[in-house]
Amino acid sequence: MTASDGSPALSRRGLFTAGVGGAVLLGTPGAAAASPLLWQRPGTLGAPPVAGLHLQFGADASREVVVSWHTTEAVSRPRVLLGSIDGGFGHSVDADTTTYRDAKSGTEVRVHHARLANLRPDTDYVYAAQHGGAAPELGTVRTAPRGRAPFRFTSFGDQGTPTLGKLSGTTYVNDNLGSPFAGDVTAAVEAQAPLFNLVNGDLCYANLSTDRIRTWSDWFTNNTRSARYRPWMPAAGNHENELGNGPIGYGAYQTYFSVPDSGADAELKGLWYAFTAGAVRVISLNNDDIAYQDGGNSYVHGYSGGAQQRWLEAELARSRSNPDIDWIVVCMHQVAISTVDKFNGADLGIRESWLPLFDRYGVDLVVCGHEHHYERSHPIRGQLPTDTRTPNPVDTRTDVVDTSRGTVHMVIGGGGTSAPSNRLFFSPAQCRVITGVGPVNSATGKRPPVYVLEDAPWSAFRDPDHSYGFASFDVDPGRPGGNTTMTVTYHAVTGPYGTTTPVDRFTLTRPRRG
């Protein structure tokens, strides 16, 4: 029995069965079971498996989701079967395949993206990703609410992998700054069951690894246990810049993720984007474009020729003038604030290019990584008359923060890297600001940063005791004519299986716009 689109149809009477590659899906329409049953059969001999299954939201998170997976071999008919929890699968969506060839290994990677459109808001779906000869991989996803409604999201950066990937003599070691906590953080995020997770750059550090393909594969293998159930929405960090991969080094990142279209030119596609969930507008940026630090495999400062800056200002203006949007959240990698010594530091390029836009259009929250610890700022608006454009704090209350008065910056860079920075805090708080770079060092091939030390009156909270963790954000739309709030909790990850300890909790508030 087939549906009109040629996909396996589901019987409307009693038990149904639908052949899916190397498996048979079983279920009872209307039954109380949480998902269809799966009788697994091996795939066809020689067919590559469905690997690295993960999700992204479209520009309207209430209506569109992209299901993605990858192979290193060509496959036939990649597609996703979509259905409901109580009704089973009944609709087939073909996937588009994008590719890149890793310049270091010569390996070609194929990533299959199935775009699920016209979905119902605030609704649970089940899906099965498959291609010819492979057993299907199943997942679930919940679309975002449309309009003002409560939901939770999470955020962290700088993860790496828990996998041992490099042979050193007779011992395998991790060569991409990963640690076991890279797996523990994933488990802890999944335990929070967020609607989506923001990954604030430096996903797997493949640009440092001996085998870049294996490192990406390990990252997806670790995270698919969460990313197949809720979109992980990334920002590209400096370690996503891989020498030879694409015109500016982000070819792998741009291929693995199918994020909302920003209208950028083809070579810049996917490096910045925005999406709406409820009354929250999330804007994801790649600030290697405007940061001074030389941190990737190639120095790409100014790569967009101002295109990202122009898009950002237009996007901020649209978002702040939209009466259906209460919150503007920016996700990026490098930071405008940091109070640790002997690490990356804050970047004057961000303060020069983007902080004035954040002020002008009232950005509420900025989540970053890059520094491998947790800290946050007071709400900041404007800049002090210093050479480093020191952010100006407008309030010093730390438990309840009115973001209509200023933007809160959060550094959440303890996603699992083996090089934490939480033991390096200045006391009292100070900030090293990168004001430029020197000439190329012939020994390293890098442009060394030029630093200026400043006071940090904007510093609100720092966690010197925990190396790893993530933040959760609980959005409460409030009532018409009142305030809307976000309850923010920083969870330190302190052990295996996602063991957490709440370290910092505060409330963001602003007047509701509708």
| Domains in the chain, number | 1
- 260 inside domain: yes
- Classify residue 101: in a domain, yes or no: no
Contacts of 123 (CB under 8 A, 6+ apart): 84, 142, 143
Give the tens place of pLDDT for each residue, 237-284: 999 999 999 999 999 999 999 999 999 999 999 999 999 999 999 999
pLDDT digits (tens, 9 = 90+) for 182-240: 999 999 999 999 999 999 999 999 999 999 999 999 999 999 999 999 999 999 999 99
Judge whether residue 31 has pLDDT over 50: no
pLDDT in tens, 102-126: 999 999 999 999 999 999 999 999 9
Query: Count of CB atoms within 10 A of residue 511's CB?
Result: 12
Instruction: Render pLDDT for 118-151 as a digit per residue (tens, 0 to 9).
Output: 999 999 999 999 999 999 999 999 999 999 999 9
pLDDT exceeding 90 applies to what percent of the chain?
A: 88
Is 398 within the bounds of a domain?
yes
Give the domain CATH number at 409.
Answer: 3.60.21.10
The two tokens of residue 387 are: 């050479």
Name the pLDDT band for 32 (thresholds 50, 70, 90): very low
For residue 503, is it within any domain?
yes
Is 401 within the bounds of a domain?
yes
* Backbone phi and psi for residue 287, each to the nearest 5 degrees, phi listed first: -90, 10
Q: Residue 204, Cα to own-chain centre: how many angstroms?
A: 12
pTM of the model: 0.92
The answer as to whether 395 is a domain residue is yes
CA 514 to chain centre: 29
List the domain range (segments joined by +) for residue 420: 146-511
Which residues lie closer than 8 Å to 393 by C-beta, 6 or more apart? Answer: 377, 378, 379, 380, 406, 457, 458, 460
Residue 123 lies inside a defined structural domain of this protein: no
pLDDT at 44: 59
Residue 63 belongs to a domain: no
